[in-house]
Amino acid sequence: MRAPASNSLGRAGLVFYTALAVVLVCFGIFFDRMSSAVRTSPETAPLHAQLERDRASPEVLRVAKWAVDTQDHGRLPFFVVDKAHARIFSFDGTGKLAGSAPVLLGSRRGDAAAVPFTPAGRFEGSSWRSLASDGIVWVNHDAALTLHPISSPVSPGRASQRLASDAVEDKRISDGSLHVADAFYANHLGPLRGRASVVYVLPEIRAPQETFVQAPPSFPSPRSPS
């Protein structure tokens, strides 16, 4: 009568150690991904420090470092738009942070290429469209995205007051286009009219891997600011 009990204990032990092994493997994968998420190469160490000083979100930090590490921006000036926090970050062609500022966004939260959302994705500057506009126009295969200075006649009402507000929701007012302070536009965007540039608009609803095809798997899920 003792043999079945012994077999039962043996099976229970096998199940326990198998489960323990699975847990340890999962923890190993988790910590490996976490370490890769914060790992900084020598090339992006200065960028990491600049963005931390500027209090950029982890999502901005990751996509900017990824763009520089992979040279996805093609050594062109590029921008990262953090819709969740209503901020835009400007980088030169070497990947150095040039500046950041608040930005007005589409009035509804979402990533679709439809009014009044600000579409998420990677966009490239359209020289001829920009020269025909009073702003910068970026395009991809799905949509066009325009950024204007707030002095533009197409900018929404009370743009200056809304840019100065600390509340992200106050900055959700446009038809999906982007709007920044005139000084930021003059220093960082005006000189690029008619020239090539890239902008990465971070998603709010979709996963980053769906938005940026080669985005690293360590990207966290999109979240709203606390």
pLDDT above 70: residue 183: yes
CATH number for region 45-211: 2.40.440.10
User: Looking at residue 206, what is its pLDDT?
Assistant: 87
pTM above 0.75, yes or no: yes
- Which tokens in the block code for residue 18? 């198998």
Contact of 123 with 138, CB cutoff 8 Å: yes
Residue 153 backbone zone (phi > 0: left; psi -120 to 50: alpha; other: beta): alpha
Segment 191-208 mean pLDDT: 92
Q: Say if strands 87-91 and 78-82 run parallel, antiparallel, or are unpaired.
A: antiparallel
Give tens-digit pLDDT for 32-63. 443 344 456 666 888 889 999 999 999 999 99
Residues 6 or more apart in contact with residue 174 via CB below 8 angstroms: 104, 105, 106, 107, 116, 118, 155, 156
